Each structure stands twice: as structure tokens, then as C-alpha cells.
């Protein structure tokens, strides 16, 4: 049995010990923590103390508790560098998201939920610089990382129909190499992109999809991509769980 001293709250001490073991790699992402009874015996504390300690770790995003299964160590947040979209960083057969997950040694993939023609509303028309009512192709994907059931991003792409009509981008088949590689293949390869990043509280649907605890916000990223002629070829809206994603902007020019 491991000794726990009394001056500090017992549950905080248990949380601290478990945190140290997670940081040291004793418990790796996806691993279950020992059962409540084992933790009680190990630290010589009550079940209530163990539950409070686990609640602390869950609030820090280190673990997640699943009813009937137990408590599991969460994967570290994805570090998504903007450079992942460069041609040099492209991975044969995998999109940027999948390539990042592979580099981190965790499973990751995009699940295409919806692909359909839509009429551009005011916001989409403004983003794509097209007339309201213009036809666009809408692609909605759930991005999974770590646990195959864990959704960490919702991606909603809007592409001008006159650019992608009759191409794989207008269909439901998996895009080899991702959207940017598919745009390259039809002569509209991305040349520049602009991102706008915001933060807000998650709505109920997002809490359900991401399995977020109350109070955890989401990150919103709006990316506008242009081809070499300056034509906007994609408006992408990303909603990301704030505790699972880190967006990195590297080597930006400073004039």
C-alpha cells in the first residue's frame, strides 16, 4: 500500500500520483486505470476519495470514464501544424489528418457522413465569393483519432460545383491523398489559404458528438483556399474539440 499523507486533500494527492504515472507512461493512451477497489487498496483511501481523484483527472482531460467499462487514459491532443497542407508534407494515399495521426502512432481516419449538392446561402456565398443561390458541393466528415469511436473534429467543406462537377470531389468515394490532392488532380491545386480561428462554447449536439464534459469549448476554424489563379476552390468549416486539438502555425513571415 502506498502512503498518502493528510495535510493536503486526499483526493488531490491520489490525483497527483495517478497524474505522475500517466505522465511517466505507466498508463498509456487507451489503457484502463485500475478499478476503484484496487486504487482504494493501493492508496488506503475510500471509494469516494478515488472517485473525486478521477473527477479531477477527467476535468484536466487526462482520462475519460465510460459507464460499464471503466476509466481510460485519453490520447494527447493532436498537434496539427499548418505545414501539413504543403506538397512536401503530403503522404501517398493519406490525407493530411491521417498522415498526422500516423506520425503520432495513433489510428486516425475521416468518415464521410454527407456529400450532396446544395444552394449557397449568404454565408457560403460570401466565403466562396459566388452569387447567393449558386450550386456547391457540400462534404461533411467526422474525423476520428485514437479510439476509433472518438470524434475529434467535424469538417464541412463547400466547393463550387462548376469546379468539381463530374470529379471525385463530387462523389462519395474516398479521396486518395485528401481534398487538396484531388484539387491538384483536376487542375485547381491549392496555392494559398487563409484561416480564421474562433472559440465558443459547444452546443448540445457537439457535446454529444465529441462526448464533451460540460464547460469544454470548441475551436472553430474557417479555411478559405485559393488556386494559382486566385479562385476560391474550397470553404472549409472545422469544429474541433478544444481538449483534443492543438493548431500550430509555424514559420510565418514577419515583415
* CA 163-97-140 angle, 5° bins: 50
- Sole residue written with cell 460570401: 126
Residue span of the structural domain in which 27 resides:
10-73
Do 46 and 90 share a domain, yes or no? no
Nearest CA-CA partner of 137 in 113, 110, 107, 165: 165
Do 146 and 42 share a domain, yes or no? no
State the pTM of this model: 0.77
CATH assignment of the domain containing 214: 3.40.1410.10
Mean pLDDT by 10 residues, the chain (255 residues): 63 94 87 93 93 90 83 80 59 77 83 97 98 98 85 97 98 92 95 95 94 88 97 98 87 71
Q: What is the pLDDT of residue 177?
A: 87
Cell of 120: 449557397
The reply to whether 4 falls in a domain is no
pLDDT in tens, 61-110: 788 888 888 898 887 777 777 656 665 555 666 788 888 888 777 788 99
CATH assignment of the domain containing 27: 1.10.10.10
Do 140 and 237 share a domain, yes or no? yes
Of 51, 73, 95, the domain-final residue:
73
CA end-to-end span of the chain: 60
How many domains in the chain? 2
Amino acid at each position: 500500500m502506498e502512503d498518502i499523507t493528510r495535510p493536503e486533500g486526499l483526493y488531490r494527492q491520489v490525483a497527483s500520483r495517478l497524474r505522475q504515472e500517466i505522465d511517466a507512461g505507466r498508463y498509456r493512451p487507451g489503457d484502463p486505470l485500475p478499478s476503484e477497489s484496487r486504487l482504494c487498496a493501493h492508496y488506503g483511501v475510500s471509494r469516494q476519495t478515488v472517485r473525486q481523484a478521477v473527477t479531477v483527472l477527467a476535468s484536466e482531460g487526462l482520462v475519460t470514464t465510460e459507464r460499464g467499462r471503466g476509466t481510460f487514459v485519453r490520447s494527447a491532443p493532436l498537434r496539427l501544424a499548418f505545414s501539413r497542407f504543403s506538397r512536401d508534407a503530403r503522404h501517398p494515399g493519406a490525407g493530411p489528418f491521417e498522415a498526422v495521426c500516423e506520425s503520432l502512432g495513433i489510428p486516425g481516419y475521416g468518415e464521410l457522413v454527407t456529400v450532396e449538392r446544395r444552394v449557397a446561402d449568404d454565408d457560403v456565398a460570401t466565403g466562396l465569393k459566388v452569387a447567393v443561390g449558386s450550386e456547391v458541393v457540400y462534404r461533411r466528415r467526422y474525423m476520428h483519432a485514437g479510439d476509433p469511436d472518438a470524434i475529434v473534429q467535424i469538417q464541412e467543406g463547400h466547393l463550387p460545383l462548376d469546379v468539381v462537377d463530374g470529379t471525385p470531389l463530387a462523389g462519395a468515394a474516398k479521396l486518395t491523398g485528401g481534398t487538396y490532392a484531388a484539387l491538384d488532380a483536376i487542375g485547381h491545386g491549392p496555392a494559398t489559404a487563409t484561416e480564421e480561428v474562433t472559440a465558443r462554447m459547444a452546443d448540445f449536439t457537439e457535446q454529444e458528438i465529441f462526448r464533451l464534459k460540460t464547460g469544454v469549448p470548441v475551436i472553430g476554424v474557417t479555411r478559405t483556399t485559393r488556386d494559382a489563379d486566385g479562385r476560391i476552390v474550397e470553404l472549409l468549416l472545422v469544429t474541433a474539440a478544444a481538449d483534443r486539438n492543438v493548431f500550430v502555425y509555424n514559420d510565418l513571415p514577419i515583415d
